[in-house]
Structure 1
Amino acid sequence: MFRSLRERNYRFYASGQVVSLTGTWMQRAAQDWLVLELSGGSPAALGVAVSLQFIPTLLLTLWAGVVADRFDKRRVLIGTQSALGACGFVLGSLDVTGVVQLWHVYVLCFVLGCFSAVDAPVRQSFVVEMVGPAQLTNAVALNSMNFNLARIVGPAISGVLITAIGTGWVFLINGVSSVGVVAGLALMDPAALHRAKLPPKERGQLRAGLRYARGRPDLIVVMALAFFIGTFGMNFESTLAVIARNVFGRNADGYGLLVTMLAVGTLTGAALAARRSGRGRPRMRLMLLGAAVFGVLEVAAALMPTYELFAAALIPVGVAIMTFTTSANSTVQLAVEPTMRGRVMGLYMLVFLGGKPLGGLASGWLAEVFGPRWPILLGGVASLVAALVGVAVLAWRRKSRVAEADRLG
């Protein structure tokens, strides 16, 4: 399960991520709570904050994929991670001094989103350089375990700290935590990285990457699924805080527990994916099954009548979504040419995260007009329908290939 940790560079990266991601999830929980406090509990205001954080994905992620293919990924990540930590320091300073206003949070959400949009495809495509293609699936699963372990610990700590010392200090702690991942990147041995040959510098590299993806129907199915699930299904950022506060009357620690329960499920799903990673490449069938089961379970969670049942239902939801995301990520990276990996991952991150502004606004509007449960309910329906359409498309494509082979044979 942990064989990728045999790579020295990956050990430095993973250990730094443990610290940094914990701080990131502490800030996310504190930021959601701060927005609700400054806006008087408005779900729409929380939706705006989520949207502003993801709008830069639409503008920058594709170009970040070109950067990933053309430049030293390790150096780029040192810059983006340092900038993300600085955003935490700025927001924390404004909050601790008592001058923070809602528009300050909005501006910093957008700035943080700009650096995150550049960071995501570079970071995703850097994994294979640390461990090599043979260990990629395992490393992706371990990254997910790391991410979701932080997702458990971070919000739980954040909920306690918000109650004890306020949101501002949580943001400052996140700024300090960014030192962990920057130090891990700086300590790596560049000579031990599994680097692919850089593509020649020429015009039209972004268009070349888009043409490459367009000519791969299997990639198109994966990315279409990623768009619908990322946009409408994975709308937890803008709904769990609202459900905790407005439906069940819980405080910040109650919201932190919901995020933690979801993370218990995603951590379990990531651990299962790490164990499966020794059985060959991820299968499209598993990805489609994970997407469909996620949709069904999300609908069931939305209908739970009590806080305790709702929290418990988030665990299997987390297992299913992690089954989908780890298999989709690995499928995309292993299916493409190494010289195209950065650009294709840029496109993948665009479709997976780029719909968040739409999803955030839609979730806020649905929660405001129809009630906080509706974004999760309709998100589950959309995810299930997308998975079924994906199954139908691949079945039709397989049938067409067989018919063509029979005709030619």
Structure 2
Amino acid sequence: MPFAMRDAVRIYWKLDGDDGAPPLVLLNSIGTDMALWDACLPALTRRFRVLRIDTRGHGASDAPEGDYDLPMLAADMVAAMDAAGIERAAVAGVSLGGMIAMQAALDHPARVAALALICTSATMDAGAWEQRIATVRRDGTAAIAELAMGRFLSPQFAAAHPAVAASLHRAIVAMADAGYAGAGAAIRDMDVIGRLPELTRPVLVVGGERDISTPFDGHGARIAAAIPGAEVAQLDCAHLAPIEAPAALAGVLVAFLAEDDAVAEAAETLFEAGLLNRRRVLGDAWVDTSLAGRTPFNTEFQAMITRIAWNEIWGRPGLDDATRRLLVVAITASLGRWEEFGLHVRAGLSRGGFTRDMLKEVLMQTAIYAGVPAANTGFAKAGRIIAELDAAQGEK
């Protein structure tokens, strides 16, 4: 088994993936070990050389007595990187692992290329952690196992995956009391929030929408606000995202860490070009409202349709805007896509894209080729939009 030695303490590490791939360090939460990442590993090792580390006090690493602190644990990470022959790497950490990652980037900036901070915090309740540490040192990890499990997984996931929940519970009970208490002291005493603005490398903050241990609004959001340029992603999971949402987490990590600058620049150019067409056809007010309504769930979809539909199709020279507008009206009426139909009818009439007579002729043609019911509904919906536009015009 490969170990790094630091201050006579053995730190267990394991390296997976192609030796020529960019390196990625993965750090575990308190109460787990490197197996936390098992379900993510197949997706990550296709793109990265992955170094997993059992944090001091966890897994196969030694668990010395006494309080640990984040600078100590960050130095352990660097020692494992040295042992694995990795000079500089992106670092992704869950909970305690994210705290160690932040400390490592602050204390050893030359060793950290990027950070992915997952379901973590820069400020925890020191009093609550002091009580938990005292309980573990007095009664062992079994005394806090149920508390930890209630925060690790969402009730829905635990109920659907009882074997996973049972395995996590056994691991907490079996781990060294000194290791859990020592790592708990590092959480209790962490002091990184005031230094986060110093971080200049790329940072992704990942929150779990079901996470009650470090809810995003009070924890991840505070980290993201403190780090200039930090990106944010939210997943449908509780605290242990690598277990509850491994595919989604691996996806956001790959998208964030493996993004090619030239590809990203090209995508941004296409997006901006599409946005110009979208504003020309639909108007600034509608587009601004649509962009303001983006969420972590639909942002990529909005970017895709702007790059492809609005740039590639609406930007083609073969048809003028009026013809394309009327084609959209006819197609959406034929398919019964009434929300999109209404959008383009309203935009076309209010922005001079086509006349009411042109709209009428398109719906007449639709009745023949797509059916009277479709045209009937189209006339009714278009009529209501015309009435609203007339009323708004009369109020001016």
TM-score scaled by length of structure 2: 0.24
Q: Greater RCO between the two (CA within 8 Å, min separation 6)?
A: 1
Structure in which a larger fraction of residues adopt strand: 2
